[in-house]
Amino acid sequence: MKIGVFVCHCGTNISHTVDVEEVAKAAAKLPNVHFATTYKYMCSSPGQALIADSIKEKGLDRIVVSACSPSLHEKTFRKCLEEAGINPYLVEMANIREHCSWVHSDRAQATKKAIELVKLSVAKVSRSKPLSKSFIPIEKRVLVIGGGISGIQAALDVSFAKFPVVMVEKEPSIGGKMAKFDKTFPTLDCAACILTPKMVGVAQNKYVTMHTFSEVVEVSGHVGDFTVKIKKKARSVDLKKCTGCGACYAKCPVKVTSEFDEGLGKRKAIYVPFPQAVPNVPVIDRNACLWFTKKTCGLCKKVCAIGAIDYDQEDEIIEEKFGAIIVATGFKQFDHSVYGEYGYGKFKDVVTGMHFERMANSSGPTGGKIVRPSDGKEALDVVFIQCVGSRDEQKGVPYCSRVCCMYTAKHATLLREHNKNAQAYVFYIDVRAAGKNYEEFVKKAQDEYGAVYLRGRVSRVFEKGGKLIVRGADTLSGSQIEIKADLVVLANGLIAQDDATTIAQMLHIQYDKNRLFTEAHPKLAPVETITSGIFLTGACQSPKDIPDTVATASAASVKALGLMVHDKLEKDPLVARTNNDLCSGCKACYLACPYSAIEMVEIEDRKLKRKRMVSRVIEGVCAGCGNCTAVCRMGAIDVEGFTNRQIMRQIEAL
């Protein structure tokens, strides 16, 4: 065995705290180490060439690269070994950057630790085995979870490449939050005008299957072969029969507040959430419907000429297979009720940005008039408060929601467009308008639409003489300000959906402390997740405006399509394997496997001259977690790449 150790300077990232020459010198003395050297950048082409040349010249058969985290460059060096003609799984990385030089400042101590880490890797690699990759077939279908603008764009992009897409949307209609908007910044396109053609495009696309009013309830399998259970909630209306004539909801006697209109308007118990809904098929709200609550009425069924109303419909769970999953579950508006000083809930005329959108929308509850919800009178003086649930650590949202500055500038513009006598006041911390034509848009709101921008926080909103008094500070002039307002609009930030963690756990993807889904790499893999075959788009990953959402949707689609064009996928051989001679067939691993990747099979034991049961790992399903190894009392099952022999040798090395 001839092990080569290659110690990286990483410019000065490592060498400024770790004496790399000393590490190489110490490494050269370790058992089985045949050669050790250092280089400025081991991951660079000359660095890799150094490894490859050393393998050939010195006959090295195992390599330790002492550099950064394996999550960054393990693949790089595996490839390097493969090209140099030795098995790619005979390399180990000693992480002396993230785990050493960057976290310690004492040179002697850091060098000592780096040597120990190299020792660990040398010990491990000395017990590594050559492994070969396996291949798994790819199911050529893509699942898109979420039917907002990001899911719609992703579905359209995938379908354009002629691969089947299934879209699952929990609401009765696709369209998401964007469908509620009136106009979009910075061009003031009407949201419905640019969205509805895409919604219809999804509905009419022969490659796209929509499941609205449905939820993903279970995901198993792995990249190329996901098995997904989708719950189709009982709509109580037959999707195939219904023509969308609207007779049912015209006759329905029950009125409840409309979620789509943010509680400003009413809808019926049988309803389509908004006129342009796709599919244009109503749904019965079983909590409100008289048939379901009191077994009376039944009017909708009577008026439906084609018999599409089906009170007996039940939730249905369907199971489908997919090769890739695109997660487009979107965001939720921050719940501003924690800001007691703004008086939301106490004063009817304190509303959110989303309320403003619905009011400004001509098909909305006020027919396009910006009014005071308390008395229905037109609002003239409107105060906008920025950063409600953004950049506020005390309220648990430390990040900037990115869109609120822009949508407030849009609202200020729309306010004046709807009523030329109206006046907008905006309390802001900073105006963040980074985007194409964004700064110009804010400037226009100020210069041409007369919005008054006040830099400071609002301390209190209270009622006096039928008006809302907004008291705040103008930090630029250093004065206290009071504004008599008809309407106060809070610019709520964007936060993760309530069920974000459930979805993440179901998909085995990660989320951060704000419950936003975590990308595989913050810069270089922004739409991938750490679980291969699952991609992210839109605001479920971080707050995004529409252009960014659409861009990530297309990016995620390309990633999914990258899988779809292959017939089979290379699979890392780092999976579990049973040694039949040792296996007693006790089933402990079979029961402990989180993936059901272990099956019990009968083998013919030649020594015992009888048949007996042993466990067998289904390679395509095994994820290589190693839980089975820890429960095996015989030491019969082991996980490649992290074998008992390797880890024991590492422990001995310390």
Partner 1 sequence: MSALGTDSMKDDKKMAADGGFEPNIVGFLCNWCSYAGADLAGTSRMQYPPNVKIIRVPCSGRVNPLFILKCLMDGADGVLISGCHIGDCHYSEGNYYARRRFAVLKNFLEYIGIDPRRFQMSWVSAAEGDKWAKVVKEVVEDIRNAGPNTISAEKK
Contact call for residues 206 and 250 (beta carbons, < 8 A)? no
DSSP state of 528: B
Pair of tokens at residue 27: 């490494």
Among 78, 113, 180, 222, contact with partner 1 (rule: CB under 8 A) = 113
Site string for partner 1, 342-361 (x = CB under 8 A): --------------------
Applying CB under 8 A, does 78 fall inside the site for partner 1?
no
* Nearest distance, CB of residue 73 and partner 1, angstroms: 12
Site string for partner 1, 243-272 (x = CB under 8 A): ------------------------------
Does 630 sit near partner 1 (CB under 8 A)? yes
Q: 624: left (phi > 0), else alpha (psi -120 to 50), else beta?
A: left
**Which residues does 570 contact at the CB level (< 8 Å), separation at least 6?**
133, 134, 135
**Nearer of residues 159 and 650 to partner 1, judged by Cβ:** 650
- Which parts of 579-608 interact with partner 1 (CB under 8 A)? 592, 594-595
Q: Provide the residue count of the chain.
A: 654
Q: How far apart are CA 277 and CA 264, in angstroms?
A: 19
Output the smallest distance, CB 210 to partner 1, in A.
29
Kindly indicate which of the ranges 176-184, 319-327, 417-425, 504-512 contains the residues binding partner 1, using the contact rule CB under 8 A: 504-512
Specify the stretch interacting with partner 1 by CB under 8 A; choose among 26-34, 59-67, 175-183, 645-653.
Answer: 645-653
Residue from 70, 146, 373, 472 binding partner 1 (CB under 8 A): 70
Of positions 64, 110, 350, 569, contacts partner 1 by CB under 8 A: 110
Residues 6+ apart with CB under 8 A from 226: 139, 143, 219, 220, 321, 322, 323, 324, 325, 533
Pairing between strand 91-95 and 62-67? Answer: parallel
Q: Which stretch binds partner 1 (CB under 8 A): 101-109, 365-373, 382-390, 431-439?
A: 101-109
Selected range binding partner 1 among 64-72, 344-352, 436-444, 559-567, rule: CB under 8 A: 64-72
Strand (E) positions, 330-389?
Answer: 331-333, 350-352, 381-388
Q: How far is CA 427 from the centre of its chain?
A: 31
Cα separation, 505 vs 508, whole angstroms: 5
- Determine the interface stretch with partner 1 among 39-47, 81-89, 280-288, 501-509 (rule: CB under 8 A): 501-509
DSSP letter for 97, please: I
Selected from 430, 448, 512, 570, the binder of partner 1 by CB under 8 A is 512
Q: Tell me which of 112, 235, 268, 402 binds partner 1, using CB under 8 A.
A: 112
- Here the tokens at position 635 are 């030491």
- Single out the residue of 42, 623, 636, 637 in contact with partner 1 (rule: CB under 8 A): 623
Question: How far apart are CB 380 and partner 1 at their closest, in Å?
Answer: 46
Among 12, 32, 44, 69, binds partner 1 (CB under 8 A): 69
> Smallest Cα–Cα separation from 330: which of 562, 488, 72, 153?
153
Applying CB under 8 A, among 79, 104, 321, 332 the residue interacting with partner 1 is 104
Which residue lies nearer to partner 1 by CB, 155 or 589? 589
Residues 525-554 binding partner 1 (CB under 8 A) are 530-531
Nearest distance from residue 222's CB to partner 1, in Å? 11
Cβ-contact 283, 209 below 8 angstroms: no
Query: Can you count the helices (H) and strands (E) in the chain?
Result: 17, 34
Regarding 170 and contact with partner 1 (CB under 8 A), the answer is: no
Nearer to partner 1, 47 or 641 (CB): 641
Residue ranges of E strands in 450-596? 452-455, 458-464, 467-474, 479-485, 487-492, 494-496, 534-536, 568-571, 576-578
- Sole window of 2-10, 91-99, 240-248, 290-298 interacting with partner 1 (rule: CB under 8 A): 91-99
Minimum CB separation of residue 532 from partner 1 in Å reads 12
- Residues near partner 1 (CB under 8 A), total: 53
* Residue among 435, 557, 463, 520 nearest 162 (CA): 557
The residue with tokens 């913050």 is 522
Measured from the Cβ of residue 461, the count of other Cβ atoms closer than 10 Å reads 26
Structure tokens given for 191: 């949201």
Residue 275: count other Cβ atoms within 10 Å of its Cβ: 10
8-state DSSP, 394 = G
Binding residues (CB under 8 A) for partner 1: these are 69-71, 95, 97-100, 102-106, 109-110, 112-113, 116-117, 120, 501, 504-505, 508, 510-513, 518, 530-531, 574, 592, 594-595, 623-627, 629-631, 639, 641-642, 644, 647-648, 650-652, 654
